[in-house]
Amino acid sequence: MNNDIEKVLYSEEDIAAACKRLGTQLTEDYKGKTPLIICVLKGAILFMTDVIRDMDIYAEIDFIDVSSYNGGTASSGTIRLLKDLDTDVAGRDILLVEDIIDTGRTLKYLEDLLKDRQANSIKVCTLMDKPSGRVVEAKADYVGFNVPSEFVVGYGLDYEEKYRNLPYVGVLKPSVYSDK
Ligand code: PRP
Ligand code: MN
Ligand code: MG
């Protein structure tokens, strides 16, 4: 285990099981449709590439890059659009894939953007949901885990851009922050 990690919240096996469960449900729900699956960079990169392997449907993928934490542990409240989609979403069935929903600001921003661009339907699949963190109203349709109000890293999620490559989700040792 990485030396900066205090405890593992969701192991590789836990995550694989969640992807299987969600992928099976999504396969059923999108039967006969060709959704556009949008990966919200950078945090959702690992989850998106795993969960789509558990979806037996025709789908297209695209990427959008937004950021509001700027590497830290608290939302700045301002969403910056760093990279836009390549695809025209008008009339499309959209599946947004996120790693975590916390304050809800990122999701709200993306849903407003997609509605504005005339998407036909918008559903949200997130690996983790932290309902205790909500500042604005935002709801996911597919949730892997409900997480306690702790700052988590790994499996796509960063602290100061590190730890994204860990294959599990965990909590950092307090010393990692206090060494700053
Ligand atoms: C994180 C996370 C979600 C969002 C959730 O992204 O990946 O996209 O914040 O938080 P919210 O519900 O409070 O908006 P971040 O801004 O850290 O960018 P990153 O994915 O590139 O790390
Ligand atoms: Mn993100
Ligand atoms: Mg981040």
* Closest atom of ligand 1 to CA, residue 133: 13
Higher per-residue pLDDT: 2 or 114: 114
Helix or strand holding residue 122 (H, E): strand 121-129
Assess whether the C-beta atom of 129 lies below 6 angstroms from ligand 1: no
Q: What is the mean pLDDT of residues 27-35?
A: 97
Q: Ligand 2 centroid vs 43 CA: distance in angstroms?
A: 4
Q: Give me the number of domains the chain comprises.
A: 1
Q: What are phi and psi of 159, to 5 degrees?
A: -125, 120
Residue 161 in any domain: the answer is no
Nearest CA to ligand 1 atom 10: 102
In a mutational test of the pocket of ligand 1, which residue from 39, 40, 69, 110 has the highest number of ligand atoms less than 8 Å from its CB?
A: 69
State the pLDDT confidence band at 178, using cuts at 50, 70 and 90. confident
Choosing from 102, 112, 116, 141, the catalytic residue is 102
Residue 180 in any domain: the answer is no
**Cross-sheet strand order for the sheet of 142-146:** 80-83, 60-67, 36-41, 93-101, 121-129, 142-146
State the pLDDT confidence band at 1, using cuts at 50, 70 and 90. confident
State the pLDDT confidence band at 44, using cuts at 50, 70 and 90. very high
In tens, the pLDDT along 64-80 reads 999 999 888 999 999 99
In tens, the pLDDT along 112-170 reads 999 999 999 999 999 999 999 999 999 999 999 999 999 999 999 999 999 999 999 99
Q: Is 115 helix (H, G, I), strand (E, B) or coil?
A: helix
Mean pLDDT of the chain: 96
Residue 177 in any domain: the answer is no
Q: What is the mean pLDDT of residues 44-59?
A: 98
Range(s) of the domain holding residue 125: 12-149
Assess whether the C-beta atom of 127 lies below 6 angstroms from ligand 1: no
Residue 132 in any domain: the answer is yes
Q: How far apart are CA 169 and CA 164, in angstroms?
A: 9
Q: Quick check: 53 pLDDT over 80?
A: yes
Residue 89 in any domain: the answer is yes
- Residue 19 identity (one-letter amino acid): C
Residue 157 in any domain: the answer is no
Q: Is 21 helix (H, G, I), strand (E, B) or coil?
A: helix
How far, in Å, are 2, 26, 78 from residue 107 at the CA level? 30, 19, 12
* Closest atom of ligand 1 to CA, residue 79: 16
- CB 126, CB 99: distance < 8 Å: yes
Residue 171 in any domain: the answer is no
Domain of 56: which CATH number? Answer: 3.40.50.2020
In tens, the pLDDT along 85-117 reads 999 999 999 999 999 999 999 999 999 999 999
Residue 145 in any domain: the answer is yes
